[in-house]
Structure 1
Amino acid sequence: MTKRERVIAVIEGKEADGIPSSFALHFPQDQATGSKAVEAHLKFFKETDTDIIKIMNEHLLPEHGMVRTPADYYEKISAITRDTGFIADQLEMSKRIVDRADKDAFTMGTIHGICASGIHPLERMGEGYNYSEVRQMQADFLRWDEKKMLAAMQLIAEDLCILAGKYVKEVGADSVYYASLGAETKWFTDEEFRRWIKPFDLQIMKAIKDAGGYCFLHMCKSGLNMERYDEDYAALADVVNWGVYEAPMALEEGKRLFPGKAVLGGFENRSGVFVDGNEAAVREEAKRIIEGFGRKGLILGADCTLATEQDLKLVRAAVEEARRL
């Protein structure tokens, strides 16, 4: 089997000749965009030999001025979404990577979900607007003026739907990795998540499917109420990935929540054998994960992105061991 055939077989519940793998990391800032990002991606894929070529996305919604109220937010988002240069730049970089990458591999674009994309302009307003503060600001603004905020979020969602479709139809990607936030109990209640986050998540995931791509649903951060990702999400997801050690929810438990769906994961991303182990330990951990989960429906990976300074020889050891089993 080719890498692409192996991944598709797992997604479709068929037998594969080995366990495919997918790992990714954020490249250094000077290699995050442009030609250096293209070269960094190709080097990573060559050194790790992953079955899935996941294209990172650092072309984020830009900052367009200070935001102090929901009305400010709507005004700034309206200005951003009229200029989709950040989408064009991501697509151009992605196409260059796909054109030069391993033709046998399964390809994947990345979308930061409605919650993450919504805070990116806020994070760029200046010193003091850190991750926790802007997540709280987002929640506070939604409670302050739901109508104005949801109108702004709809504009963001429309842009992300455009990106989803173009990844598949213009870049030629097989799939899109949709990174969802919002299910952490710290920021939203179950009802707020259902009203404010879920409709946009589903809208964008549907755009991936409508374009003809496989949808990889990533559920990120700690303290998740995984039950928020209900049957509506499962209906649109082909593969699911979450922080097994963060949520926490074991891979085997994910089979219950997402019956019939392929699961991506197994390794801790910022601790464990990828941090303090050697190649032999990584291979043993890969074997343990696969034996515990079973061969069917598993794509070996990590909870989330690996550390930028990750030793890629260890990643390759995991990839080779999985493919051998």
Structure 2
Amino acid sequence: MAQTKRELVESALENKKVERVPVGFWFHFLENEDQADASTDPTLSEKNIEGHRAFYEAFKPDFVKLMSDGYFIYPHPAFAAIHSAVDFGKLEPLGKDHPWIEKQVALVKELQKFIKREVFTFYNIFAPARVLEWSLPNYNKTLLGDFIAADKEAVKHGLDVIAQDIATLAERIIKEGGADGIYFSVQNIDDSRITKDVYLDVFAPGEQKILQAANHANPNNVLHICGYDGHHNDLTWYVNYEVKAYNWAAIVENISLAEGKKIFGGKAVIGGFGNTVEDILAKGDEAAVKAETQRLLAEAGREGILLGADCTVPRGLALERLEWVRDAGKK
């Protein structure tokens, strides 16, 4: 009997043999997704839902990353008054029943109505430091480094508060919303002062707290080490994060699926394809896309591999291109 899509992905996450390699790609469904505010404009959430529905019905992916478009901004009322590390150190949680959390749980429930647990679903969630990029009115690339230099403990407190709310969100979208796990986006901080030691001391505890909450609800969680817009990361900073699978910008980092699998101790890995308009997935003809698929699998093997991209693929990308990957992965 052929494996169902859920069985395919479950086997891949557990590094077991699969009848074919599972495939998943994802799009943003809102324009300016990082600043769109579905909390104040419910039509944006409706557009996001319909985007998911159209994509799901047209492509029937093997697994789905549920997009949190419209909810990137963490709407903390105290953010407007944060001008120093001391201010950040006074932050208090929004609370487990805040509308920002409630509405995302409701979003996931709506998405599950047509997905019907036919496939694994992973809800997109950002780490606290990434949330600050979208949400702090005065955010800039040196702000966190400046705050840490001024009062490291205050920064640790502020990040922990944000992590508490995100941990609540992660647990609730799994337990109540019906997602199988989270797709958790992290990134090295673009500031030379924030070394690996500083990151592990200041940022990692909150990120680990979020993963602990998600794993408590369901252990099928994915870590995305984001290389958006060419951002480079040291993948080794995340080797001790407890997740089922890792996804990183294989093209940006020049680290293949096979190499990444070694870095992460043999855990399952997702990706392989570049996600820009200049990469093979978007520019190559059918023969080129299929040849690249087969090259990736010849190098990485077929156990513990889920084919996808570095990050979100371009809007308007023809779905037949994604089908070429799935077809080539059957061979």
TM-score (norm 1): 0.88
Q: Tell me the equivalent position of 2:197.
A: 191
Q: Tell me the equivalent position of 1:17.
A: 19
Q: Tell me the equivalent position of 1:223.
A: 232
Q: Tell me the equivalent position of 2:312.
A: 305
Residue 2 of structure 1: how far off its partner (Å): 1.0
Q: Show CA shifts across 1:164-202 (max 9, x none).
A: 111211112112111112266746211111111111121
Partner residue of 1:41 out of 31, 35, 52: 52
Matched ranges for 1:161-180 at <5 A: 161-180=167-186
Q: Is 1:97 aligned with 2:111? A: yes
RMSD: 2.2
Using the alignment, how far apart are the partners of 1:185 and 1:253 within structure 2?
A: 26
Give the aligned length: 312
Residue 243 of structure 1: how far off its partner (Å): 0.9
Residue 294 of structure 1: how far off its partner (Å): 0.7
- Would you say the 8 A contact 1:182–1:197 is kept in 2? no
Q: Is 1:212 aligned with 2:225? A: no
The answer to which structure has the higher helix fraction is 1
- Would you say the 8 A contact 2:223–2:246 is kept in 1? yes
Using the alignment, how far apart are the partners of 1:47 and 1:111 within structure 2?
A: 25
Q: Tell me the equivalent position of 2:260.
A: 254
- Would you say the 8 A contact 1:111–1:176 is kept in 2? yes
Change (3 A) 1:199 1:152: same
Residue 139 of structure 1: how far off its partner (Å): 2.3
- Would you say the 8 A contact 2:271–2:308 is kept in 1? yes
Using the alignment, how far apart are the partners of 1:39 and 1:104 within structure 2?
A: 18
Using the alignment, how far apart are the partners of 1:100 and 1:30 within structure 2?
A: 25
Matched ranges for 1:144-159 at <5 A: 144-159=150-165
Using the alignment, how far apart are the partners of 2:171 and 2:106 within structure 1?
A: 14
Residue 249 of structure 1: how far off its partner (Å): 1.8
Residue type of the partner of 1:62? P
Residue 71 of structure 1: how far off its partner (Å): 3.1
Partner residue of 1:68 out of 54, 62, 83: 83
- Would you say the 8 A contact 2:251–2:272 is kept in 1? no
Using the alignment, how far apart are the partners of 1:169 and 1:84 within structure 2?
A: 17
- The secondary structure found in structure 2 opposite 1:274 is helix
Using the alignment, how far apart are the partners of 1:224 and 1:288 within structure 2?
A: 24
Q: Can you give the 5+ residue segments of structure 1 that lack an aligned partner in the other structure?
A: none
Q: Is 1:118 aligned with 2:120? A: no
Q: Tell me the equivalent position of 2:122.
A: 108
Q: Show CA shifts across 1:219-249 (max 9, x none).
A: 112321222123x22xx11101111122232
Using the alignment, how far apart are the partners of 1:179 and 1:102 within structure 2?
A: 25
Identity across matched positions, percent: 27
Q: Show CA shifts across 1:51-106 (max 9, x none).
A: 1121011313026425321233345x537558722111111111100111254211
Q: Show CA shifts across 1:243-263 (max 9, x none).
A: 112223222111221123101
Using the alignment, how far apart are the partners of 1:81 and 1:158 within structure 2?
A: 9
Q: Tell me the equivalent position of 1:293.
A: 300
- The secondary structure found in structure 1 opposite 2:157 is helix
Q: Can you give the 5+ residue segments of structure 2 that lack an aligned partner in the other structure?
A: 37-43
- The secondary structure found in structure 2 opposite 1:134 is coil
- Would you say the 8 A contact 1:81–1:156 is kept in 2? no
- The secondary structure found in structure 1 opposite 2:272 is strand
